[in-house]
Every structure is written in structure tokens, then in C-alpha cells.
Amino acid sequence: MAEPNAATKQFESAVVANMARLIGLARSMLSGQARDAKQAEDLVQDALLKLYRHHQRYDWTDGGWSLMARAVSRNVISCRRRKLGQSLDADPATMDALGADQDPATIPMTREVIEMVQRYMASLPASWREAMVLREQQELGYREIAEVMNATEAQVKTWLHRGRARLGEMLREHMLEK
């Protein structure tokens, strides 16, 4: 068997270093109904296989996160487009961690708030929701989000503004009802 070249070794190192984050990204972009670990892992694996086919073309010296995150995001978005009508939720591990250090009496209230925000997020248009997940959870820049979503930076900024404004409106309405 041939000795792997430098690009192959860098690709393998990048995969090992970023696998958990990539699966978390895929899980956070999938809907609640389809957010099982297997589907997220399958989407990540598929994206990485596509990248591996052309891994010699890319520079992996930076750790490869942004390139792999874009590939996984595009793969999830493509999957979601094939299954129209599904929503994006936050990663359940992240949601569980939000209440981990709190007083047990506040955990049910925290879960209620999280579920409410998830419902509100699910009601947003897909492009707004996807842009918000990529920006707020994955901390991608406007240019990276635009590349992932095949949009302009101006469109991404518009989606983020509208999504945040609508989410804020829904939260204010909820608070006024109480």
C-alpha cells in the first residue's frame, strides 16, 4: 500500500479534529423529527467523502474547519430541500447543557423557554432559520454563510435581520400574553 501524501495526512487530521463539531453542525441544522445521530453522521460522512475525492486541490494547513463546515452545511441544505417543509432546531446537547448548572427548580422553566424558542424558530422561513443557525450557533461570517447558501452577503444580512426581528416580535408577543 502506498504511503499517504501530505495532503491526505492533513485531510485525515482535519477530519479527526473536527468530526464532533461537524456532526453537531449537521444535527443543529436538521429538523427535530429527523435529528437522529445516524442521519447527521451520514450527512457528514457523505460531505467528507465528496471532499476526499478532491482533497488534493485544497489547502488543509489551516485545519480545514471552514471548508468542511461549508461542505456539511451544503449537504444538509440539499437534503432539506429534498424534504421541504421541515424545520431547524438547536442541537439537543446544547439545549441540555443550558440548564446543567442551574437550580433544579428552574430547569423545567428553562426547558419550556427552549421549546418555545425552538417552535418560534421552526415557524420562520427556511432561509432565515438556516442563516440564523449558521451565524449564531456555528459562528460563520456573512461571506461564509453566503457561500454555503448560494446567496449574496446582502441577502444573508437581510435574512438575519428579518429572522431576528420576527423572533424578537414573537418573544415580545409571548411576554405580553403572560
Mean residue pLDDT of the chain comes to 76
pLDDT over 90 (residue 159): yes
What is the grid cell recorded at 103?
437550580
Question: Do residues 38 and 88 make contact, with C-beta atoms less than 8 angstroms apart?
Answer: no
**Residue 161: pLDDT band with limits 50, 70, 90:** very high
Which class would CATH give 89-178? mainly alpha
Q: What is the pTM of this model?
A: 0.50
* Alpha carbon distances (Å) from 53 to 8, 44, 119, 145: 11, 14, 38, 23
The string of pLDDT tens digits covering residues 38-90 is: 888 888 888 888 888 888 888 777 788 888 888 888 888 777 766 644 334 44
Would you say residue 111 has pLDDT above 60? Answer: yes
Is the model more confident about 129 or about 36? 129
The pLDDT tens digits for 4-44 are: 688 788 888 888 888 888 888 888 777 554 555 688 888 88
As a whole number of angstroms, the distance between CA 130 and CA 119 comes to 14
Res. 93: pLDDT tops 50: no
- Burial (CB < 10 A; 0-12, 13-18, 19+), residue 108, is exposed
User: Can you give the residue ranges of every domain in the chain?
Assistant: 1-86, 89-178
Look at residue 85 in the predicted model and tell me its pLDDT.
Answer: 41
pLDDT reported for residue 47 = 87
State how far Cα 104 lies from the chain centre: 29
Statement: 1-86 belongs to CATH 3.20.14: no
pLDDT at residue number 97: 44
The residue with cell 418555545 is: 116
